[in-house]
Structure 1
Amino acid sequence: MMRLDKPIGVFLLLWPALWSLWIAGNGKPDLLISMVIVAGVIVMRSAGCVINDYADREFDPHVERTRLRPIAAGEIAPNQALLFFLLLILLAFDLTLLLNALTILLSVIGAFLAASYPFMKRYTHLPQAYLGIAFGWAVPMSFAAQTGQVPAVAWWLFLAVVLWALIYDTLYAMVDRDDDVTVGVKSTAILFGRHVRSVVAGLQALMLLVLGWVGIQAGLGSAYYAGLSVGAGCFVWQQYLVRDEEKSACFRAFLHNNWFGAAVFAGLAVDALL
């Protein structure tokens, strides 16, 4: 249920946390804080997978990609999954106790976001935006842990992460779009309809602009912008992959966002070294 055998979710949550730590720590984040944040990312992503399976237990048996998940397949009882989720949340909270008071306070909000996100697809066509808020919460937490405050640049980076989630989770939702329509699940892939690729392209351009502004505010150098240029190339490749909106290609485009995150982090790391 934790899907540690499919680490893409860990990476998509981890990259923004690392971006934040490197900017907040001027390229030299505190080792203990970094270890706690990384461990927290792994635990919270695992918790998110568990509560997602619990929330979708009535839908998953009817969707080709999810029908073999443990609850849907009858291998784990829903109440067992819920208990496991609570244990993971407690573990994540225990990790934050090693950090400052502001980070602990922000972690409570993060836990609420993680617990409530899976239910959003019942009520809004924008669950991908809510996912972005949940995943993006690693940004203010990382800044708070490293600096004791959440400056303006952190919220601009938070906005970029929300946009990123809209991008990659829309690509992910395109894989299940037909099944989602059948079972009544809402998503941006359904909302955007035949304009989905154009909307995603616009979101990609906007995210790059916001990340550029982050670089200006943080006083970053040319290596960072070189990383953004590589990231822009990643987005172009993703657009090429989804040109026919074929399911397996959309899934490949979703997975490819790991390389985007890595490119941005590489630019930050090299910039710090220089």
Structure 2
Amino acid sequence: MSDPIHAGPAPGADAPLPDALSGHWVDRRATRPFLKLARIERPIGWWLLLLPCWWSAGLAAIAAGRPYPDPWHCLLFLIGAVLMRGAGCTFNDIIDRKLDAEVARTRGRPLPSGQVTARAAAFFMVGLSLAGLAVLLQFNRFTVLLGIASLGIVAIYPFMKRITNMPQFVLGLAFSWGALLGWSAVFGRLDAPAYLAYAAAIAWTVGYDTIYAMQDIEDDVIAGIKSSARYFGDHTREAVALCFALAALFSASAIWLVGGGVFAWLGFAAFATHLGWQVSRIEGASAAEALRLFRSNEYAGLLLAGGLALDTIARGLFA
């Protein structure tokens, strides 16, 4: 097999990737390969990175008696999620470029298809990382150090699919880090609700990324890529149900500890119901259905974040 770094564009390299949104503005830009490296045309990734930040910001606002989650913090988390998701995906693609060439869903990505060189991708990753650091530096010192500490987990994640059957757990450790940052940005420390939110987000991530991995089982077997979907096999539905049950348990515990009110519990109920609906659709799901279920987690997470935010707003209005 030729080296995908130096090979010319693969057949169909200009076609949209199977899990990308069709007709996205990225496809009309000269910088398209780099925007695709950052997954700009697949916003679900930065949503899933952002939402634990917003959960934690909502919990912190309730605990601190604030009338709403800090808007500036929430905006910084949004910008940071887009930038760091892009940097993380670029790093992942540099490491996985040869494996990606062997999987139907990923062989059209910019690196394995020859649209971008590894060197150019590395410069792009550094640029995104520096922009992300500029965002992180807007927070208190504890949060800055806490954010930097996450880089170790991010660095090892791409290698996990080669050595463990549960790379999704390591992804959860990285993708859920914002559940710690949202709390520390308010209090300058970590407390039990933040750890519970982090645990909830980890369990949620393992669950939804197992659903995502269901798309690639056949190709993963050929390429020797490990995943939780392969590991759980015929028990995938039960495993995802357990992950989602733990996510519900930990998030409910965090809400209880901060003294969440009616809207917080309504948001939790909507979140838990959505997770239950996903579990009911897993059995026998096609690749297209698995992708749809995975993407729906944007709405699941927003339901919880919205409930927490509304709870603080309601307290401010009726205090």
1:51 maps to 91
Q: Is the 8 A contact 1:132 1:163 kept in 2?
A: yes
2:6 maps to none
2:84 is matched by which residue type in structure 1? M
Q: Per-residue deviation at 1:184?
A: 0.7
Q: What is the rounded CA distance, in whole Å, between the counterparts of 2:170 and 2:152 in structure 1? A: 12
2:156 maps to 116
2:269 maps to 229
In structure 1, which of residues 84, 89, 92 is the aligned counterpart of residue 132 of structure 2?
A: 92
In structure 1, which of residues 194, 203, 215 is the aligned counterpart of residue 243 of structure 2?
A: 203
Q: What is the rounded CA distance, in whole Å, between the counterparts of 2:50 and 2:143 in structure 1? A: 17
**Structure of larger gyration radius:** 2
Counterparts of residues 1-274 of structure 1 (less than 5 Å): 1-26=37-62, 28-274=68-314
Q: Is the 8 A contact 1:164 1:204 kept in 2?
A: yes
Q: What is the rounded CA distance, in whole Å, between the counterparts of 1:72 and 1:81 in structure 2? A: 12
More helix by share: 1
Q: Is the 8 A contact 2:68 2:313 kept in 1?
A: no
Q: Per-residue deviation at 1:33?
A: 2.7
1:53 is matched by which residue type in structure 2? D
Q: Per-residue deviation at 1:230?
A: 1.4
State the identity as a percent.
36
Q: Is the 8 A contact 1:65 1:176 kept in 2?
A: yes
| Structure 2 spans left out of the alignment, 5+ residues | 1-36, 315-319
TM-score by length of 2: 0.83
2:11 maps to none
Q: How many residues align?
A: 274
Greater mean alpha carbon deviation, residues 40-49 or residues 92-101:
92-101
2:300 is matched by which residue type in structure 1? F
Q: Per-residue deviation at 1:233?
A: 2.2
Q: What is the rounded CA distance, in whole Å, between the counterparts of 2:68 and 2:263 in structure 1? A: 16
Greater mean alpha carbon deviation, residues 24-33 or residues 253-262:
24-33
TM-score by length of 1: 0.96
Q: What is the rounded CA distance, in whole Å, between the counterparts of 2:308 and 2:180 in structure 1? A: 18
Q: Is the 8 A contact 1:47 1:89 kept in 2?
A: yes
1:9 is matched by which residue type in structure 2? G
CA RMSD of aligned residues (A): 1.4
Q: Is the 8 A contact 1:29 1:146 kept in 2?
A: no
Q: What is the rounded CA distance, in whole Å, between the counterparts of 2:253 and 2:150 in structure 1? A: 25
Q: What is the rounded CA distance, in whole Å, between the counterparts of 2:215 and 2:171 in structure 1? A: 17
Q: Is the 8 A contact 1:201 1:239 kept in 2?
A: yes
Q: Per-residue deviation at 1:249?
A: 1.0
Q: What is the rounded CA distance, in whole Å, between the counterparts of 1:181 and 1:60 in structure 2? A: 13
Q: Per-residue deviation at 1:126?
A: 1.1
Q: What is the rounded CA distance, in whole Å, between the counterparts of 1:4 and 1:207 in structure 2? A: 27
1:219 is matched by which residue type in structure 2? G
